[in-house]
Each structure stands twice: as structure tokens, then as C-alpha cells.
């Protein structure tokens, strides 16, 4: 009880000098956003980075006694929060109230003495708890926080118990989205990686981007990271017009790309040679966007580290903004991503299939095309931008408004059931041969090139986000859209509350849509037992036959 009281004391956040300085610069913008109620991705990142810097990751014996563990850690400093999870073994994330707690641990932790192996003496914030008592530890009282989402079967069961279609959609998003603990873990991994890069680049930051922070992340998604060197102080120091001045002597190479490759090569090598728990490190430096890929075993996260990838950071910001505008945006993206994954339309392995990023673009485009539109076009967001939102990256206009409350929505009130059905119809009949999907204009445009699926990159407008997709993958997507549209129209032959033969709830509504084998079976049943289907859908079924 005493420990819990101590834990709840809640010492106020102590900002580092650098963070405080950064905050002052952005104070006006920040205060404005605080008043607006919504937090920008920038604010979220700063707050999460500070949390992560006050945190350590500790591998614990599986039968660790929680009270005893916390009592021990309180010797180093007040604890703000903590949680346990299972990766390869049990781990604890402990956030101290101030960075002194971390410093105190690092000062007092011992270096392991090993007899058969030699260790690389690189110190990090990944530690191990050792129980040196002769007697084994008492009963474990640890509650483990899940770090992966439910299986498709569990999800189907869960959805089948819901009472309405819209509740099913909400429930799907709730069970797939990243938890608070998983988000903390992602920022902590970025912060641990920053410790590796900091001896070379003390002013760098490592930020997560992509689905870890854009509002559409599913438990278990990869961790995309961006090594940001834009904040290096000397870049902004103005040379005097007259007199003497000093500048750094630096190595010169011929392109930005070469700089990125050198930096990533060195950091990749550090991870290979020194990084505790960094396994399977691959330096993929000749890719269009050079990266270092590795598995971070303590967190169980698959990581991609990039550098100089500002456009991707900007598209993350844009997706985050869209995700905050209307709850239906996240719900539809989650539902479509989950549906696509279940039916093998998307895959974790890179290939000729549609990526989650492309799918998200397709959902956004569809929502822009509703009448009235649910979300604005990118051009409309650009027109609402303030002067400080202006952004040009390597000649690409990346300007859009950053304050969500400046955006007036048009009062669309469609239900999720309707939207999902319409989504499938829309992409079941889209004119892929001639048209390109374009979220900047919110209107299909003539296709500038011959690839089967064309989705204009919102910021680098000469690029096609779906360039990798081949004709047969697109065909699979289109037929599944048609089948799912058909199925949704005939989903009413099952009621929410009936029981299946095994005694569990009978899959219905959205749950039926996630059952791969059910589509054909239900279609057969309905074809014999129901009246005529709508003419367009009927012809699709004929073609499928």
C-alpha cells in the first residue's frame, strides 16, 4: 500500500533545458493548439519523447514479485508509471518522475560477470533484474499487458456478440488499435536508439512515423523510425557580413543520399556490434529510401530506421490530422485494413500486393467523394494553412493546416454500415484502367501512366504510391470488394443474437465479412432462398460463377 501511495505521488514533469527551449520557440503555436483542445502530432511526439527519456526497460525473472520489484526500484527515484509485458521473457517498462531516476540506476547497476563468453561493455537502458536470494521468489503477482492483437477467430467471436453493426465497427477498432502501453514501448525503442546515435550526433532525435503514430496503427505493426538531424544548432547560425567567424570542418560527399547512406551504415553497424537485443540487422542502403531493418527483441518490434525522410513524416502528419477529424475515418480505415489482411489482400512481406498505406489513401479518397464529403481534400487543407504551416521539401509543396479546429466539416451523417457497403461498391466498380486516385483534388484524374493501380502520392505528385501493385493483385482486390458488397447487402439473414451450432454466438454482420470461407457459402444459400438481387451485383455474381 505504501508503495502504491509513493507511486501515486505524481511529481510534475521536469523538462530538459533543450526541450524547454524548443517549447518556448513553439509556445504560441502550442498554446493555441492547447486552447483548441486537439493535440498536434508535434505536441504528442514531444511529450512522448520526454516520457521515454525518463524510462528504462528491465528484463525480469518470470516469477518476479511486483511489490518487491517496485520497492527495489524506488531506491533509485520516484516512479511515475510502470507496466509489465511478455516478449521473449517478461519485461517491465518503468517511467521515473525525473531523469535523475534513470541516471541513478545507470550509475548503480553492475556489469555482468560471465565466465564462458566475453561481453561488449556498451551500457544502455535495457537492464536485467537478478534475484540473488537463495530461496526462489514468491508467487508472481504480475499482470502482463498484451502486446499483440486478438486472432481473427477471437475477433469474429467478439464482433458476433455485439448488438449492432456500428458497435461491431467500434469494437473492431478498439481491439486492433495500439494500446497506451504499446505506444509507450514504441517511443522507448526510439529513445534507446537515440542513445546509440547520440555519441555521433548529440542533437539528433529519433521519431516514430507511419502507423505507429498516424492514428491507424494496429497492435503488432512495424515501427518506422526517422533519424532527424534538422535540429542541429549550427545550421541556423548566421555568418557575419564582415570580420572573423568560425565554422565546423566537415566531410563533404556529393549527394544528400550519400550522407544518409553513411549515417545509416554507421548506426546499423553499431546496432550489429553493440545493440543489446537488436537482432537480424540488415542495412538496406540502396533502396529508394535507404534504411536499417532489425528486430528489437526486448520489445518484440520489427523496426525500420530511416534518415532524411521528411516527406514520409509529413504524410504521417497528414494522416494523423485526417484520423482526428471524424471518428468514422479511423473506424473505416481499421475495418478495411483488417478485412484486407484477413483475406490476404495485404501482407507483411513486401511484394506486388496493395500496401496498408495505399489502402488508407483509398479510404480517404472515398470519404472525400461522399456527398456531402466527410473529409476535405488536401488542396482545401492547404488553402486553410497559416503562414507558419508553410512547408516545402525538396521542391514539393507539403503545406496544409495544422490546427484541426480551423477545418469546417460538412455535416455528413451516414452510418458506418452504409459507408462500408458503399466503399466496397465504389472500389468494386472504379474505373482503374483510365483513372487515378487523387486525395489532393478529391476527384479521380486521368491516369498519367500504365500501372494497374494509380494513386497519386499526395506530396511527391509525380509518384504513384501503388506502383508495386500488379494486375492480378488488383483483380483479387476488386472481386473481393464486389463479393463483400454483395455479402453486406445479404447480411440481414442472420440476427445479432442467435447461437451457432457450437453454442457460441452466430457470426453476423461484420463478423461474416471476415470469415473467408463464408462468402461463397452464404452466397450459395442466399441465391437459393432469397428474391432477386440488385442488377449490378447480380451480374458480378454471374461473372464469379
By the criterion CB under 5 A, which residues form the site for Mg ion? 210-211, 222, 224
Q: Is 397 in the site for ligand GTP (CB under 6 A)?
A: no
Question: What does 195 bind: ligand GTP, Mg ion, none (CB cut-off 5 to 8 Å by kind)?
Answer: none
Among the listed residues 94, 465, 469, 491, the single contact to ligand GTP using CB under 6 A:
465
Among the listed residues 77, 208, 210, 298, the single contact to ligand GTP using CB under 6 A:
210
Instruction: Classify the phi-psi angles of 503: left when phi > 0, otherwise alpha if psi is within -120 to 50, otherwise beta.
Output: left
Helices (H), 163-274: 165-176, 180-197, 256-273
Nearer to Mg ion, 211 or 399 (CB): 211
Contact present, 79 and 94 (Cβ < 8 Å): yes
Nearer to Mg ion, 137 or 468 (CB): 468
Q: Which residues lie closer than 8 Å to 532 by C-beta, 6 or more apart? A: 538
Helix and strand numbers (H, E) in the chain are: 19, 13
Smallest distance, Mg ion to C-beta of residue 487, A: 29
Residue indicated by cell numbers 437459393: 528
Q: Is 222 in the site for ligand GTP (CB under 6 A)?
A: yes
- From the list 16-24, 205-213, 386-394, 401-409, the region that binds ligand GTP by CB under 6 A is 205-213
Q: Provide the grid cell at 284.
A: 538496406
Q: Mutual orientation of helices 471-489 and 518-529 as an angle, nearest 10°?
A: 50
If we measure between CA atoms, which residue out of 163, 364, 215, 196 comes closest to residue 272?
A: 196
Q: Is 457 in the site for ligand GTP (CB under 6 A)?
A: yes
Among the listed residues 357, 477, 508, 540, the single contact to ligand GTP using CB under 6 A:
357
Smallest distance, ligand GTP to C-beta of residue 222, A: 5
β-partners of residue 294 are 303
Smallest distance, ligand GTP to C-beta of residue 140, A: 33
Question: What does 315 bind: ligand GTP, Mg ion, none (CB cut-off 5 to 8 Å by kind)?
Answer: ligand GTP
What is the helix (H) or strand (E) element at residue 479, kind and residue range?
A: helix 471-489
Smallest distance, ligand GTP to C-beta of residue 320, A: 10
Q: Provide the grid cell at 267.
A: 548506426
Q: Is 399 in the site for ligand GTP (CB under 6 A)?
A: no
Question: What does 355 bind: Mg ion, ligand GTP, none (CB cut-off 5 to 8 Å by kind)?
Answer: ligand GTP
Q: Is 211 in the site for ligand GTP (CB under 6 A)?
A: yes
Cα torsion through 432, 436, 439, 443, rounded to 10: -90
Among the listed residues 22, 74, 272, 312, the single contact to ligand GTP using CB under 6 A:
312
Among the listed residues 224, 317, 425, 483, the single contact to ligand GTP using CB under 6 A:
224
Smallest distance, ligand GTP to C-beta of residue 304, A: 7
Task: Tell me the CA distances in angstroms from 449 to 328, 397, 438, one per residue in order.
Answer: 32, 22, 14
Tell me the C-alpha distance between 406 and 399, whole Å.
15
Nearer to ligand GTP, 102 or 281 (CB): 281
End-to-end CA distance of the chain: 67
x/- track of binding to ligand GTP for residues 417-446 (CB under 6 A) = ------------------------------
Among the listed residues 183, 308, 355, 368, the single contact to ligand GTP using CB under 6 A:
355
Tell me the C-alpha distance between 304 and 301, whole Å.
10
Q: Which residues lie closer than 8 Å to 175 by C-beta, 6 or more apart? A: 149, 150, 155, 158
The size of the interface with ligand GTP (CB under 6 A), counted in residues, is 17
If we measure between CA atoms, which residue out of 439, 519, 419 comes closest to residue 479?
A: 519
Residues of this chain that interact with ligand GTP (CB under 6 A) are 209-211, 214, 221-222, 224, 311-312, 315-316, 355-357, 457, 460, 465
Amino acid at each position: 500500500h505504501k508503495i502504491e501511495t509513493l507511486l501515486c505521488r505524481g511529481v510534475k514533469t521536469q523538462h530538459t533545458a533543450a526541450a524547454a527551449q524548443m517549447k518556448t520557440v513553439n509556445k504560441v503555436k502550442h498554446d493555441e493548439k492547447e486552447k483548441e483542445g486537439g493535440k498536434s502530432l508535434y505536441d504528442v511526439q514531444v511529450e512522448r519523447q520526454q516520457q521515454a527519456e525518463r524510462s528504462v526497460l528491465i528484463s525480469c525473472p518470470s516469477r518476479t514479485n511486483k511489490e518487491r520489484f517496485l520497492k527495489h526500484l524506488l531506491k533509485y527515484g520516484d516512479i511515475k508509471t510502470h507496466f509489465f509485458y511478455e516478449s521473449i521473457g517478461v519485461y517491465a517498462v518503468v517511467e521515473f518522475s525525473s531523469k535523475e531516476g534513470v541516471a541513478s540506476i545507470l550509475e548503480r547497476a553492475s556489469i555482468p560477470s560471465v565466465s564462458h563468453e566475453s561481453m561488449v561493455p556498451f551500457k544502455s537502458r535495457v537492464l536485467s533484474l537478478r534475484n540473488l536470494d537463495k530461496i526462489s521468489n514468491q508467487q508472481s503477482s504480475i499482470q502482463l499487458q498484451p502486446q499483440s492483437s486478438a486472432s481473427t477467430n477471437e475477433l469474429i467471436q467478439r464482433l458476433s456478440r455485439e448488438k449492432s453493426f456500428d458497435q461491431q465497427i467500434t469494437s473492431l477498432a478498439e481491439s486492433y488499435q495500439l494500446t497506451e502501453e504499446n505506444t509507450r514501448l514504441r517511443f522507448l525503442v526510439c529513445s534507446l536508439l537515440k542513445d546509440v546515435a547520440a555519441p555521433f550526433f548529440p542533437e539528433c532525435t529519433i521519431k516514430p512515423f507511419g502507423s505507429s503514430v498516424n492514428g491507424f496503427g494496429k497492435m503488432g505493426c512495424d515501427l518506422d523510425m526517422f533519424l532527424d538531424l534538422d535540429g542541429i544548432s549550427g545550421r541556423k547560425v548566421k555568418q557575419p557580413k564582415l570580420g572573423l567567424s568560425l565554422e565546423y570542418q566537415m566531410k563533404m560527399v556529393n549527394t544528400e543520399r550519400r550522407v544518409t547512406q553513411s549515417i545509416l551504415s554507421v548506426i546499423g553497424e553499431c546496432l550489429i556490434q553493440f545493440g543489446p537485443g537488436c537482432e537480424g540487422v540488415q542495412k538496406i542502403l540502396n533502396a529508394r529510401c535507404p534504411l536499417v531493418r532489425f528486430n528489437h527483441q526486448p520489445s518484440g518490434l520489427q523496426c525500420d530506421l530511416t534518415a532524411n525522410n521528411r516527406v514520409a513524416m509529413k504524410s504521417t502528419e497528414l494522416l494523423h490530422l485526417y484520423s482526428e477529424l471524424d471518428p468514422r475515418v479511423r473506424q473505416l480505415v481499421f475495418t478495411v485494413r483488417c478485412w484486407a489482411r484477413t483475406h490476404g489482400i495485404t501482407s507483411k512481406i513486401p511484394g506486388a500486393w496493395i500496401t496498408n498505406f495505399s489502402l488508407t489513401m483509398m479510404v480517404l479518397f472515398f470519404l472525400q467523394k461522399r456527398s456531402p464529403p466527410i473529409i476535405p481534400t488536401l488542396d482545401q487543407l492547404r488553402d486553410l494553412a497559416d503562414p507558419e504551416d508553410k512547408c516545402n521539401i525538396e521542391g514539393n509543396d507539403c503545406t496544409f493546416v495544422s490546427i484541426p479546429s480551423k477545418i469546417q466539416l460538412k455535416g455528413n451523417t451516414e452510418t458506418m454500415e452504409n459507408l462500408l457497403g458503399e466503399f466496397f461498391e465504389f472500389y468494386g466498380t472504379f474505373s482503374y484502367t483510365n483513372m487515378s486516385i487523387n486525395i489532393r483534388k478529391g476527384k479521380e484524374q486521368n491516369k498519367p501512366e500504365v500501372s494497374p493501380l494509380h494513386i497519386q502520392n499526395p506530396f511527391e505528385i509525380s509518384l504513384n504510391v501503388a506502383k508495386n501493385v500488379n494486375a492480378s493483385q488488383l483483380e483479387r482486390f476488386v472481386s473481393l470488394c464486389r463479393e463483400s458488397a454483395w455479402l453486406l447487402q445479404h447480411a440481414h439473414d442472420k440476427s445479432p443474437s442467435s447461437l451457432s451450432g457450437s453454442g457460441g454466438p452466430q457470426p453476423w454482420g461484420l463478423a461474416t465479412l471476415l470469415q473467408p470461407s463464408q462468402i461463397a457459402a452464404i452466397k450459395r444459400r442466399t441465391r437459393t432462398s432469397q428474391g432477386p438481387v440488385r442488377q449490378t451485383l447480380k451480374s458480378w455474381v454471374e461473372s464469379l460463377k
